[in-house]
Structure 1
Amino acid sequence: MPSIALPYGDGERDFKVPSSWQLTTARPTPAPTVANLELAISEAVQNPWMQVARLRDRVEPGQRVSIAITDATRPSPDSLFLNALLHELKNGGVSEKDITLVFALGMHRRTTEEEQKEKLGAWFGKLRTVDAHGGDLEAYRALGELTSGATQTFPEPVPVELHEAILDCDVLLATGIVEPHQYAGFSGGRKTVAIGCASANTISVLHGVSFLEHSGTRLGRIENNPVHEALVLGARKARLQFIVNLAMSAEGEPLRVLAGEPEPTHEELVRSCSEQAWVPVGEEPFDAVVLGIGSPKDANLYQASRALTYLAFGPRPPLREGGWVVIAAPCPEGMGQGAGEQAFLKGMQSASNPIDVVAKLRADGFGAGGQRAFMVAKALTHYRGAVLGASHASTAPSCHMKGIASLDEIASVLPAKARVLVVPHGLATLPLQS
């Protein structure tokens, strides 16, 4: 019996495939990737995009600097980013005692000590750290409302409430990963600050029905995207001055590193990412799609379920109506442990089937985290879902999906010679029907 190798946790796992299946693998056009990531980051920080002023020339001795860094669910090489940023700050005369590292959690769970050690590397324990958790409302300040962006009036006003740790500074920096994102088009850039360091109130509006169902809110597109435009304005209100970001290839490899002023730097990395992300896979729809993810996104179903919705809500999904989406993910945290993850579970369990979940959430509304339930349930009104290899038997059924230990378990509900698409990197490779 043939097998396929998929990212699974920190490594790979081979899954046997019924010999009658007709397999196609989504492979992006090969692109040069970053050979030496540490060197590439250092060079990017020393040579900012569009030849703008270096970071060392933007700071002065005695200034307070905050650096917003990603949470544990992002594969961001933050320790390497910090090496380069802190070297520049030191050369600009900034003292370590004046630097604060802000974990941009949004509504995800707080970082553990082990995760902080991994994220910060040699800087663990040397600098002040703060968790910006959107539920700690007393730590957030209101900076007004956003009613319109560069190209449109927003579907509803967006309250801008940002964490005090990124406001009580003279200079604000941010790290990030640029990869496809369901609502913002692409992650990175402005998002680390405008969502990661925003309150539950801000996050709830930007992830609410009015934004999610707006025609401009699309995976892999920032043009005329209201979520993107709101995030850009939120980052401006935070006075975000300088970023260093890594764009990921469609195979989940480091593609390009840039540093510089937030908007042009992010837009250039989006262009690099867009050129690789979309992969045509033919005209005939498939009977099933098997998706790999890998660490850290496959640690819980809240994150891993993105693979389902990325496939379902792309421009031309390559799967027939009623086909199967299989997500290979160990999900050792089950649904996830943060407030947003628990809101996701609550939303998925609010009705007995996906159609009723969508109707209930659309009628009642939902807070931060509920948006994932809304989008997953919408996807499941068109496709069947399964989680392959989950650590806990209850994880998939909690979300109206089937938990399976092997691909044989869905073979009986597929045609004998099923056409099956394999996407090894389901959050970075975006397959579409030709």
Structure 2
Amino acid sequence: RPTPTKKMLELIIKELNQFNISKDNITLLVATGNHRPPTSNELIEMVGKEFKSSIPIVIHDASNKKNLIYLGETSRKVPIWVNKEIMKADLKILTGTISPHHAAGFTGGRKSILPGISGLKSLNIHHSLPIRPFYPALGWYHGNPFHEESLEAARITGIDFIVNSIHNREGDVIKVVAGDLDKAHYEGVKICRDIWAVRVPEMSDITIVSPGG
């Protein structure tokens, strides 16, 4: 993903240093979901050589139950198993990018927790939620159960702050939102929607679309 993680970290750590929070007290938790772990070179590309060598980095493994902690259930009975490393932190900050997503409506924000650092049991039940029969969830935000459960899980985890970037069609960063888990993310969603959404004047009987191919 095009997230400018290294630049975000530079700014976040600079801000934290002003409050006497040093690198020794910072841990980077890589939210892989159920994807493969990044290679050493990918980590360097992501966070830079300096941060890779000077800050502890924990790669999430959704299948490793020993590294998970149970926080309860969401209102739709999705069990919240998250990487226990995040619960050791007094200050929890999420970074990421906001872009259209086929299930969550939009990426970023709460998705760093569920699915980002959640266990397999949480992922399997969460990803099995009925989204909307026969309709794609791309760009669907309010009322989307995939989004709502992720947001609820992130709230229960106790997220304090997010920093998310929004990109144009060429991949350039055009805006960064920072602040509250819900409010800042939704501001980014509105910006992202203005960039990526295509408005049509009326419904058609037949529509032919291409995913870019």
- TM-score above 0.5, yes or no: yes
State the shift of 1:194 in Å: 2.4
Residue of structure 2 in register with 1:289 after alignment: 210
State the shift of 1:124 in Å: 1.7
For each residue in 1:138-173, what CA deviation from the matched residue of structure 2 results, as whole angstroms up to 9, or x when unmatched? Answer: 2111111112xxxxxx3xx20000101111111111
Residue of structure 1 in register with 2:12 after alignment: 85
Q: Which has the larger radius of gyration?
A: 1
Contact 1:179 1:187 (8 Å CA) reproduced: yes
For each residue in 1:410-434, what CA deviation from the matched residue of structure 2 results, as whole angstroms up to 9, or x when unmatched? Answer: xxxxxxxxxxxxxxxxxxxxxxxxx
Identity %: 30
Cα distance in 2 between the residues matched to 1:176 and 1:99: 18
Any gaps of 5 or more consecutive residues in structure 1? 1-73, 148-153, 292-325, 327-434
Q: In the superposition, relative to structure 1, how do residues 140 and 134 fare at CA in structure 2: closer, same or farther (>3 Å)?
A: same
2:59 to 126, 131, 146: 131
TM-score by length of 2: 0.90
| 1:116 maps onto 2:35 in alignment | no
1:66-215 → structure 2 map (5 Å cutoff): 74-121=1-48, 122-147=50-75, 154=76, 157-208=77-128, 210-213=129-132
For each residue in 1:249-273, what CA deviation from the matched residue of structure 2 results, as whole angstroms up to 9, or x when unmatched? Answer: 2443322111111111000000111
For each residue in 1:322-373, what CA deviation from the matched residue of structure 2 results, as whole angstroms up to 9, or x when unmatched? Answer: xxxx4xxxxxxxxxxxxxxxxxxxxxxxxxxxxxxxxxxxxxxxxxxxxxxx
TM-score by length of 1: 0.46
The one-letter code of the counterpart of 1:84 is L
The one-letter code of the counterpart of 2:32 is L
Moved >6 Å (runs of 4+): none
- How many residues of Structure 1 are paired with residues of Structure 2 in the alignment? 209
Any gaps of 5 or more consecutive residues in structure 2? none
> What is the Cα-based RMSD across aligned positions, in Å?
2.1
Contact 1:100 1:129 (8 Å CA) reproduced: yes
More strand by share: 1
Q: In the superposition, relative to structure 1, how do residues 77 and 230 fare at CA in structure 2: closer, same or farther (>3 Å)?
A: same
Cα distance in 1 between the residues matched to 2:199 and 2:182: 29
The one-letter code of the counterpart of 2:164 is N
Contact 2:131 2:145 (8 Å CA) reproduced: no
Cα distance in 2 between the residues matched to 1:186 and 1:240: 18
> 3-state SS of the aligned residue for 1:143?
strand
Contact 2:93 2:161 (8 Å CA) reproduced: yes
The one-letter code of the counterpart of 2:126 is L
> 3-state SS of the aligned residue for 1:240?
coil
